[in-house]
Structure 1
Amino acid sequence: MDAALGIMARWALVADLMLLFGVPMFVIYSDDSVGARVFAPLPIVVLFAASGGFLLSALGLAIAAATMSGVPLAQLDAATLAMLVNQTAVGTTFLVRMSVLVVAAALALSRRDGRKQLAAIALCGAVALGSLAWSGHGVMDDGRTGIVHLGADIAHLLAAGVWVGALASLLWLVATGQNDAPESHRALSGFASVGTASVAVVLITGLVNSWLLVGPSNLLSLGKSLYGQLLLIKLSLFAGMLALAALNRFHFTPALDLAVTAPASRHALQRLRLSLTLETLAGIAILGLVAWIGSLEPPVSMP
């Protein structure tokens, strides 16, 4: 029961922190009119994400402490929790994450609308999201390999956060834009280069992590372990996200630009909404698989 709760808490926490980082980033690199639309609800998003991240981080740490001590969560004692917080790298990153989440919430409440505020919130989100690498497989190696693994994990999380934050922002825009095809076209066009870069980083760091966690000798036997089966499902969903992203960029975005009549514009927006919804659902499922995979022993560690 505690193991399942831990996976669900990790799933929710990763998604939450990706929004905290990715949505402010979307506002920063978007043009002024698109950014202004997303900025309007941003303080609420940041407050919700910071609060959720705070609670989910506390729950996750408590579950980790209970697992480490071999007792149910309900029987966890304060001494074990204090030891984990004060004497481990996981505890240190937990304290750092909680601190930046408080700062992010304070910035959202300050109600300033400058670029410096957005950059500060995005930085807080980046630190909070990147800190998750210390509670995953990225810390299993030592020396130079450990540095590469941890760095790849952090870069993977941040690049995925940019992608997830953009998906949430784009879905918000097309769902509330009152059939505003030009605005949706500008938003999609503005994300094109950033999206390509984030996908490239996700791919490269994913390959690095797979090499270190699976190992070339285990590739042909991936389907024999639960870890491998979940990884294959994750890769299939990721391929689907790539296909939908390509469809958005090379078909739906030009279609919005070419739509000169109201019916054509509405039809193009409806197809775009469906595509973005499917891409977002695939992303949510991938985050759940990542949380599950993170609780399993990787093939490279198996005898």
Structure 2
Amino acid sequence: MADPAMIAVRFALYAVLAAAFGLPLFALQALRGGERVVGTALRFRVGIVAAAGAGLAFSALWLALLAASMGDTPLAGVTGETVALLIDGTAIGAAWTARMAALTLMLPVASLGGRAPRTAFGLLAVAGAVALGSLAWTGHGAMDEGVRGWVHLLADLAHLLAAGAWIGALAAFLRFTFARAPDPVLAQRVLHGFASTGTLLVLLLLGTGLVNGWVLVGPDHLAALVTDDYGRLLLIKLALFAAMLALAAANRFRHTPALRATVDDPVRALAGLRRSLLAETTAALAILVLVAWLGMLSPPASA
């Protein structure tokens, strides 16, 4: 049975590292000129600092839990020697070290980024990509070898970054629409401007998801989708992803045009948009829980 504590920490890592990458990427793409300096950008930087700090804490806890699991000891019994061996002697340790370095770099850059905001957000997005991408070495994608292994790892990496960009955008949209004094013009503009990027992210998620599904399940194990724990969780994940697609389509084709049409009195349009964004974010977080859980199970193709 998968360890609930490890699943919880893996979920937290996926969530905070997605925000650490997705928020600066969104700010770089969606904010214009002076908007990268004023209050909106400041709140973005505060969120990035919080995500990077949480990422450091959860990464340290994750490594300790992994060392405890590998040594078959309680968490309190983990020694520095065991942790050092894990860091120095494995690819997982190298990925963890790169993640910690990237997250540590993000703290001063985000805190002092007001002087050169475009450069700062660019550096933050790159560092966030390294931190989030390092999770690919903790999942099934790092277990295969040869060409198959590289294809799977690269698909995992692209899947993670696309998901992080989407989740970061959701966090930003929630910030715009739930502000004390929401700016409907700005909210409408960033929502509308994200449409083409959102389409690209969906295509990337679908393509890399198909690659991962082919490697982890494969045509010879389709029956396991309904008979195996991994398969059933995967089907739930796909259903939640379909729900996210439907909600994103509603945001694009219904709620955003309604906000533009009622910009002088946006209360009703904002209420509908808020409900839709909350539902989409809830589905995204539920998917991250499932991803954290699936990473602890053996996929059907490994049987």
TM-score by length of 1: 0.95
**Matched residue SS, 1:297:** coil
Where does 1:105-254 land on structure 2 (aligned, <5 Å)? 105-112=107-114, 113-176=116-179, 178-254=181-257
Match of 1:3 in 2: 3
Query: Is 2:158–2:204's contact at 8 Å kept on the other side of the alignment?
Result: yes
Query: 1:135-176: per-residue Cα shift (whole Å, max 9, x none)?
Result: 110111111111110000010000000000000000110111
Give the one of 91, 94, 97 matched to 1:92.
Answer: 94
Shift of 1:31: 3.9
Give the one of 57, 61, 64 matched to 2:63.
Answer: 61
Number of matched pairs:
300
Q: Write the letter of the residue equivalent to 1:14.
A: Y
Query: 1:65-106: per-residue Cα shift (whole Å, max 9, x none)?
Result: 111122222222222211101100001111111111111001
Counterpart check, 1:23 vs 2:23? yes
Q: Write the letter of the residue equivalent to 2:29.
A: Y
Query: 1:35-79: per-residue Cα shift (whole Å, max 9, x none)?
Result: 555412122212211111111111111111111122222222222
Q: Distance between the aligned counterparts of 1:136 and 1:173, measured in 2?
A: 34
Query: Is 2:113–2:120's contact at 8 Å kept on the other side of the alignment?
Result: no
Structure 1 gaps of 5+ residues are none
**Matched residue SS, 1:66:** helix
Query: Is 1:37–1:173's contact at 8 Å kept on the other side of the alignment?
Result: no
**Matched residue SS, 1:176:** coil
Q: Distance between the aligned counterparts of 2:192 and 2:281, measured in 1?
A: 18
Query: Is 1:27–1:34's contact at 8 Å kept on the other side of the alignment?
Result: no
Q: Write the letter of the residue equivalent to 1:280.
A: T
Match of 2:272 in 1: 271
Structure 1: 4+ residue segments shifted above 6 A: none
Q: Quote the sequence identity (%).
A: 47
Counterpart check, 1:286 vs 2:287? yes
Counterpart check, 1:78 vs 2:59? no
Shift of 1:2: 8.8
Describe the shift of the 1:238–1:87 C-alpha distance in structure 2 as closer, same or farther (beyond 3 A).
same
Describe the shift of the 1:38–1:213 C-alpha distance in structure 2 as closer, same or farther (beyond 3 A).
farther
TM-score by length of 2: 0.95
Query: Is 1:2–1:63's contact at 8 Å kept on the other side of the alignment?
Result: no
Instruction: Note the aligned Cα RMSD (angstroms).
Output: 1.6
Structure 2 gaps of 5+ residues are none
Q: Write the letter of the residue equivalent to 2:302.
A: S
Q: Write the letter of the residue equivalent to 1:96.
A: A
**Worse-matched range after superposition: 91-100 or 25-34:** 25-34
